[in-house]
Amino acid sequence: MSDNISPEGNDGELERLKSAPADRATEGPLDESEANPVRPYVDLGGVKVLPREGLQLRLEVEEGSQRVVAVGLDYAGSTLQVQPFAAPRSSGLWHEIREQIADQIAKQGGTTTQIDGPFGPELRAEIPAVTPGQPESTRLARFIGVDGPRWFLRGVIAGEGAVREEAAAKIEELFRSVVVVRGKTPMPPRDLIPLHMPKSAAGAPDSPSVPEV
């Protein structure tokens, strides 16, 4: 795994290095420059998704602005939410963002455990769920992240892929197949890379609100 922190720099602060699988450039998630140009990807702007049997795609839209802020993928009994963000060229975002996610979940009354997963460090979370008739129910989720060249891709896995090994392997392979399209437009780190409806889509997708974490 490419997952470490450099010694202190001249400014006395720890510089966060990239967190990604050692084989990311060949096995994914891929940068647009690394992807096969003839594969039939679904173009969603900041990400491209490889279609497959049984995969359902939905775009998650921010209320008010109607801006597409995440891509939701339902596959093999699991759900995967992905979001691409701009990142510095030489350093990553996942170490810092992972800590912030854990803090947010703790404030909601949930718990997180960090483990070494297939993509590097990930968070396994138990989050309080609002379920009628089940006041103390929780939902399980996995928060994964990969730092690429000038981008960071965050994923949230729920459903079977958060609890069963066989289902986890299928949804992890789906995350690996995502291609990030950073583009050449200058963007501040942490800005969401713009997403849009598939260019060939006929009709509006579902648009549920995006979870806070």
pLDDT digits (tens, 9 = 90+) for 159-190: 999 999 999 999 999 999 999 999 999 999 99
Q: What is the spatial distance between Cα 197 and Cα 67, in angstroms, rounded to a whole number?
A: 10
**pLDDT of 204:** 39
**pLDDT of 139:** 92
**pLDDT of 209:** 35
Strand partners, 142: 124, 157
Token look-up 């299928």 returns 170
**pLDDT of 40:** 92
**pLDDT of 125:** 97
**For residues 94-123, average pLDDT:** 96
Query: Got the DSSP string for the chain?
Result: -EEEEEEE-TTSSEEEEEEE-TTHHHHSSEEGGGS-TTS--EE-BSEEE---TT-EEEEEE-TTT--EEEEEEEETTEEEEEEEEE--SSS-SHHHHHHHHHHHHHHTT-EEEEEEETTEEEEEEEEE--BTTBTT-EEEEEEEEEEETTEEEEEEEEEGGGT-HHHHHHHHHHHHT-EE---SS---TTPBPPB---TT--SPPP-PPPP--
> Domain extents for the chain?
16-21+30-54+90-195
pLDDT tens for residues 25-54?
A: 999 999 999 999 999 999 999 999 999 999
The confidence band for 210, taking pLDDT boundaries of 50, 70 and 90, is: very low
CB 60 within 8 A of CB 209: yes
**pLDDT of 132:** 67
Q: Which has the higher per-residue pLDDT, 213 or 1? A: 1
Token look-up 């648009």 returns 207
pLDDT tens for residues 119-159?
A: 999 999 999 987 666 667 889 999 999 999 999 999 999 99
**pLDDT of 133:** 67
The pLDDT of residue 206 is above 60: no
The confidence band for 8, taking pLDDT boundaries of 50, 70 and 90, is: very low
**pLDDT of 137:** 83
Q: Is the pTM of this model over 0.75?
A: yes
In angstroms, the Cα distances linking 24 to 18, 40, 71, 173, 178 are 12, 20, 21, 12, 11
